[in-house]
Structure 1
């Protein structure tokens, strides 16, 4: 059974809290303004920090613990059906920060380096001037008719919304009600 060093735990918790604050408030929230996502990121992060610190302090970790933590990370995909790729990316980084910060045994300097790498990478990718040229909006659309031809569907959406259609994914088709539900990505002028 391992010992839980309270000084190391407090130091690691401080690193985790600073990292998650920078990630979700300074980087994510100021640009995307989704408080519901911030709450989820912090909850996942702190929960995974707590679990990994508790498991790491209870003795040597085996393969089963690794599979269990992998299952926790798989929750991202289950939770992310309505989330975009940006939110999935931030969720994954929030989870990794909590996991990495919570596991004992790694040198603190390495933890700081990895946490910095993750936060700086997300800052650069999310705030990039390059990405601003490729703005888009993702909309869930339910049509009151089924349009089978892709070019007719794109033209109908372009005419209805007055925006260039970048992609369309059919989520469901209801032949009884003669409706279809779509995920549509529109190009947004910057």
Structure 2
């Protein structure tokens, strides 16, 4: 159990501080990832010591995985970090039986997250919800207006709300950042 705890702490610190926080800078989720991971590790370790039925473990996993994921405050990307934090806790909680397998799985999970969330992979596209102080009835004019305001090429835009009384349009926009503005973290 001590080896599993050590591997888990190293893995979650690499995931939370080394990958997530350095790229996304959200302290609130940093704490959530670590707390969730260590809690999962503790529960799984306890379940293994007490030899509780595996169905209880899967039920717990399902329950914990939906606790915070319903919030609209977090992105799909952050949900992926939640999921990996949970999986690291589970993998390392059972590490006593197969420590080398757990170590290998930790490395694979961290490498996949590093590559999948690397700015060089998809870092030149952005997503933003934009509220315009005008209603565009012509989709081409809407695109031109968005490109002018964002100073970027609009890849896709979906109007989510139109208010003709207040002359307001809310648009979900995906756009490409020009090379000069792209940042590599």
Structure 2 portions without partners, runs of 5+: 180-185
Q: CA deviation at 1:137?
A: 2.6
- List 4+ stretches of structure 1 deviating above 6 A: none
TM-score by length of 2: 0.78
Q: Is the Cα–Cα contact under 8 Å of residues 12 and 101 in structure 1 kept in the other structure?
A: yes
Q: Deviations over 1:141-172 (max 9, x none)?
A: 22334445433322221122222112224444
Partner of 1:74: 66
Check 1:91–1:159 CA distance in 2 against 1; reply closer, same or farther (3 A cut).
same
Q: CA deviation at 1:176?
A: 6.1
Q: Does 1:38 align with 2:27?
A: no
Partner of 1:127: 118
Partner of 1:144: 133
Aligned length: 179
Q: Which of 179, 183, 186 lines up with 2:175 in the alignment?
A: 186
TM-score by length of 1: 0.76
Check 1:175–1:54 CA distance in 2 against 1; reply closer, same or farther (3 A cut).
farther
Structure 1 portions without partners, runs of 5+: 1-7
User: What root-mean-square deviation, in Å, do the aligned CA atoms of Structure 1 and Structure 2 show?
Assistant: 2.7
